[in-house]
Structures are given as C-alpha cells and as structure tokens.
Structure 1
C-alpha cells in the first residue's frame, strides 16, 4: 500500500489517484477529520459537493463541513445550531447590558449638567451616542 494516500482514500481503503479531490483537503496526518465528515455526509456526497465548487473555495467548504460534522456527532439533535443559539444569546445579553449602562451614563450626565452647567456639553454628546443605539449584526 502506498503511504502517500490521503486520509479519505485510507479510510475508504482505495488507491489515491493523482487527481484525488480529497487529497489536498484531507491529509493523511488527520484521519479523524475525514471520518467525521464521512459519517455524517458520506464520501460520495462530499465529493459531489466539492466538485461543484471552484477550487479556491474547496478548503473553506471542507473546513465548514468538518466543523458541522463534529458538532452533529457531539450533539445529534442540535449540531452547530446549539452554538449559534448560545452566541446569539450572548450578543443579546451584551446589548442589553450596554443599553442599561448607557442609560445609567445618561442619568449621570444629566445630573451633572443640572448641578454644573459646564457638563452640559458632555450630556449632549452622550445623548447623541445613546440615540444611535447599540449596533447589532444579526445572522
């Protein structure tokens, strides 16, 4: 057997052809990566997906498939959606905390501007910042 076979060809127990679509994406040094993807998607489906993509996007697709397959193996029900939901919840909590902090800052600036008119400019500047609101990037 040839020791230069990629992880996919080793896993599938076949000869690795020179034009193997898996070879640049699944090196022999990381056999688990292909095993996970194969378990979830199947080798034929992976090959078809990768062949439809331009060559410069295949590595990124393989990385994404690998991540999603690992997540699906660890959590068969939710997969990577669980992580996405957790991150969205963290974003929501951070935005809520930011809004609360900005509101407290506005109250503080308003109390300072009433007590000392020289702080009026700071209160106006913070008011324009608060009116813009926290920016969010929804998925």
Structure 2
C-alpha cells in the first residue's frame, strides 16, 4: 500500500475490550468518483488524497476511464510524467479551450522570435559601434604625430588607467577640431 493514508479509529464496545478499525483513506480519484479505493488502485500513487483538484482537473478534460486506460498501457516509470503532462494539458485546456497547450507554445514561440529580433538588433548595434570605434582609432592614429602615437597606444591598451595622456589639446596640437562651436 504505497501513498495511501491510513487512519486508525479506536472504538470501545465495552470498557474492557477496545476494538480498533483500520480505515484506508481513498485516493483523490476514488473520492471524486465516489468509489471504493482498492489496494492496487492505478490512480492512488499519482492522485494523493490531499490534492483532489489535480484529479478533478484531469478528469474534466480526459475522463476517468481514459486516464486509467492510458496509465495501464504505460510502464510504471513513465506514469508519473504522463500524469504531470495530463494535468498540465488539462489546466491549459481549461484556460484556453480552443488551443490549450498549443496556444501557450505559440505564444512562447512568438516571444522567442521577438527576443531573437531584439538580440539581432543589439548585435548589429555592437558591430556598428565597433566599426565606428575602429574608424575613430584609425583617424586618430593618422592625425597624431608619430612620437605621440606610441604613448597614445600604450594608454589606450592599458584600459584608460592614466587619463592624463589620453586625448587632450596638448597632445593633438593644431589637429584638434572641436565637434561643436
């Protein structure tokens, strides 16, 4: 008897002879179906008595006989996953009776496409900025006097650790043209 709760109720018929009865709490499926839960109930391991909504949802969409037949056809290791899938599909079908899981999948694919478009745009912007950076560096390298090129390159590749020798009017001399007036 796996996953079946037992409750022991003690009743006394006389003060000297207590009598105990064992009552097995039926699984949620048997409770909903109002039937006696047998010891080898196919549904008991997957629909515990404390979660009747799980079976009710699956029952409304698939029906009890279809659930039982489906579980009996599967090997035991696959049954728990099958029940999870049925409950998920049933919840999706109740939320969206026309499309069910297919509607959720379609919506997620749409989100993926939108995110892929955003990613492509961001990557294009990065490439554009890298090209602009390369063009700017080429322009700076052409306009700098050759003796200042070495110190500029050292400062640039060291990650801007020393900003004193980076681009300022003293290093560029007469080649400096302001971007605004």
Give the TM-score taking structure 1 as reference length. 0.79
- Larger helix fraction of residues: 1
Say which structure, 1 or 2, has more relative contact order (CA 8 Å, 6+ apart).
1
The SS at the match of 1:116 is helix
Cα distance in 1 between the residues matched to 2:95 and 2:113:
25
1:8 to 29, 33, 46: 29
Structure 1: gaps (5+ residues): 120-139
- Larger strand fraction of residues: 2
TM-superposed CA distance for 1:33, in Å, is: 1.1
Give the TM-score taking structure 2 as reference length. 0.61
Cα distance in 1 between the residues matched to 2:137 and 2:76:
65
TM-superposed CA distance for 1:45, in Å, is: 0.7
Cα distance in 1 between the residues matched to 2:109 and 2:24:
45
Poorly superposed stretches of 4+, deviation over 4 Å: none
Structure 2: gaps (5+ residues): 1-22, 139-152, 157-181
Matches within 5 A, 1:64-75: 64-75=85-96
Q: If you compute each CA radius of gyration, which structure gives the higher value, 1 or 2?
A: 2
